[in-house]
Amino acid sequence: MTEIDVQSNLKPEMVIRSLLEIAQTDEHYRRALDEIGNGPVNIAGLADVQKAYLIQGMSHSLAASLTAVIVPDIVVARHLADHLRALSPDVSDVLIWRSRDYAWTAMEASSLAVEQERLGILHRLNRLGHPDGERRLILVIVAQSLIQLIPPRPQMERLTTYISDDFTEGPDVLAERLTAAGYERVMKAEVPGQFARRGDIVDVIPVGLPENQFGSGKGIGFRTSFFDTDVDLIRLYDIASQRSIENVSAVRVPPAREINLSADEALQLSQN
């Protein structure tokens, strides 16, 4: 039996990695690992925490960039995600793909939190494996969401705005792009999905950032200062205090709504 000295000076991520590597010493685990490439493998009788350990262990053993787990409902998804995060070196690598909520009655307002969470996950999936993107994700999928359509990848990429020193189109064009991507223009950007412009300065809070919780009033945004049409400076800023924190070289802003129609597309739909 393999033992780990939890009182040692190992970093938490190293302890977790060592715990996952213990699975390699089990004959049945190795056999299941070998059979995965040959077809479905049925493993029964596991408690929830054991399922999480097995999922994390196999994801680690196979060096999988994306591991998808399908569960029956959101309650099970949250419970499993908690166990998976306890065994993850980076808790932000474990995501829940929720089903889109539909309302069949008239309403005056609705929350955008679920939609923006889904869009943030899609953006991270699109960047999976890129030099500036994610290296590994575990996605816990609510079964109902599998029958729901998602925005095509080309549309996501078309509506994503990349702001860096190479952006030379000025604050007017940036504001137009953000509006077309579903961002709401306000006096002061305070929640994901909002942007604000003050002269040559544009603040935006991209959706899907792990640091931000929709409606919490805490988190980070990005403040871009222009000199004429050229980007002069990009800074992180604290949402609560609105104070700049540090300079960054670039920011990628994904769309804020799942359905984004151009004027021509809206006109075409209205005529059909």
d(CA 176, CA 193): 14
pLDDT tens digit string along 180-202?
999 999 999 998 999 999 999 99
Residue 28 CB-half CA count within 13 A? 5
| Better pLDDT: 120 or 270 | 120
What domains appear along the chain, each with residue ranges and CATH number?
12-101+112-147 (3.40.50.300), 158-253 (3.30.2060.10)
Joined together, the tokens standing for residue 209 give 């950032």
Joined together, the tokens standing for residue 270 give 């209205």
Q: What is the mean pLDDT of the chain?
A: 85
Looking at 36-112, list the stretches that DSSP marks H as alpha helix, in order from N- to C-terminal side: 48-61, 74-86
Q: How many residues does the chain have?
A: 272
| Better pLDDT: 157 or 104 | 157
Q: How many other C-beta atoms can be found within 10 angstroms of the C-beta atom of residue 193?
A: 25
Is-contact 69 55, C-beta < 8 A?
yes
pLDDT of 110: 55
pLDDT of 61: 86
Q: Per-residue pLDDT averaged across 118-131, rounded?
A: 86
Confidence of residue 1 (pLDDT cuts 50, 70, 90): very low
pLDDT of 100: 79
| Better pLDDT: 20 or 80 | 80
**Model confidence, pTM:** 0.80
pLDDT tens digit string along 43-80?
888 999 999 999 998 898 888 899 999 999 999 999 99
The residues near 112 (Cβ < 8 Å, ≥ 6 apart) are 193, 214, 256, 257
User: Is the pLDDT confidence value at 234 over 90?
Assistant: yes
The residues near 171 (Cβ < 8 Å, ≥ 6 apart) are 197, 199, 200, 201, 202, 224, 226
Is-contact 239 190, C-beta < 8 A?
yes
